[in-house]
Amino acid sequence: MPSTRPPVDYIERTRAQYDALGYPPYQWVHSATPPPWAELTKPLAECRVGLIGSGGIYQVGQVAFHYKDDFSFRIVDTRAPTSQLRATHFAYDLTDARSDPNVVFPVDTLNDLVAEGFIGELAERAYAFMGGIYSSRKVRDTLAPALAERVIRDEVDVVLLVPV
């Protein structure tokens, strides 16, 4: 049977879960202003692609994320074997990400797309953080600008954002 049901509404389910647990409602970020827009100025096949993921990925040798509003990030070498990638996060089932980190941090996938010429190249550095950060202020004012500065410095044409 093909999918006939609508997407899972996680805002509604979180509201129901928090209510059942006796917690006050979770305050989701609602962006009031329209998003900014930048045209792609060249074909994807000529683009350098950046990757930022919030699935709690780190490389062996790096310090892992902790679970209490950790808003640090890790610089991940996209040339290194993905067998050196690890996953840590408190709010999703890590089983598949630990078996194959590409499900939340598609380094091999993007390298495959480079090999077949679908994209021009993958930036040498990708960026990973652990998205369970309850302070939207820290994300908006500190983490997001720091990541934006990094990918600008890397001279990427587009960035693929992979939240969990």
Partner 1 sequence: MTSALSITRAANPPRAAYLDFPLGHTAGKPHQRELNRSIVGDGLRAFETLRAPGDVVMLPYEWADDDAWKDTVMRPRASASLERDSAGRSSQQRDDRVERHAVPQYQTDADRTAADAALAAGGCATCVWLDGRPNETT
146 binds partner 1 (CB under 8 A): yes
Cα distance between residue 148 and residue 140, in whole Å: 11
Beta strands 85-87; 121-122: pairing state? unpaired
Is the CB of residue 127 less than 8 Å from the CB of residue 51? yes
Q: How far is the CB of 87 from partner 1 (least distance, A)?
A: 6
For residue 79, how far is the Cα from the chain centroid? Answer: 18
Contact set for partner 1, span 57-76 (CB under 8 A)? 58-68, 70-76
Among 24, 25, 38, 83, binds partner 1 (CB under 8 A): 38
Q: Least distance in Å: CB of 42 to partner 1? A: 10
Q: Which of 24, 25, 36, 155 binds partner 1 (CB under 8 A)?
A: 36
Does 80 bind partner 1 (CB under 8 A)? Our answer is no
Q: Does 48 bind partner 1 (CB under 8 A)?
A: no
The answer to whether residue 164 forms part of the interface with partner 1 (CB under 8 A) is yes
Q: Does 144 bind partner 1 (CB under 8 A)?
A: no
Quick one: which of 90, 156, 93 has its CA closest to 126?
156
Kindly list the distances between the CA atom of residue 108 and the CA atoms of 14, 72, 113, in Å, as whole numbers in the listed order. 32, 24, 9
Q: Is 54 helix (H, G, I), strand (E, B) or coil?
A: coil
- How many residues touch partner 1 under the rule CB under 8 A: the total is 89
